């Protein structure tokens, strides 16, 4: 069975992450907690949680650890 999706429109996982999600992922990999990430990025903890939620959706995971493992497997970190 052939996939009908044009390959030129398929983006890699890395390209689908927003710049903020990439930054949050970087800090997650460093072991920072939400409050520390918020401070580093100059954002509220609530905003960090929103970015994490988007990151989890794009990586198809439901936890920090799963996000880190998946991101590492995909070469994002």
Nearest to 76 by CA among 12, 30, 20: 12
Tell me: pLDDT of 5 over 50.
no
Residue 4: what pLDDT? 52
Task: Catalogue all structural domains in the chain, each as residue range(s) with its CATH number.
Answer: 17-73 (1.10.10.10)
> CB–CB of 76/28 below 8 Å?
no
Q: Rounded to whole angstroms, how far apart are CA atoms 2 and 28? A: 38
For the segment 36-54, what is each residue's pLDDT rounded down to a tens digit? 999 999 999 999 999 999 9
């Amino acid at each position: 069975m052939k996939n009908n999706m044009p390959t030129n429109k398929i983006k890699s996982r890395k390209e689908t992450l927003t710049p903020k999600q990439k930054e949050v992922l970087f800090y997650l990999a460093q072991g920072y907690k939400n409050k520390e990430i918020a401070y580093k990025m100059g954002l509220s903890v609530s905003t960090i949680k929103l970015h994490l939620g988007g990151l989890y959706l794009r990586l198809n995971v439901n936890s920090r650890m799963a996000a880190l493992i998946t991101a590492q497997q995909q070469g994002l970190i």
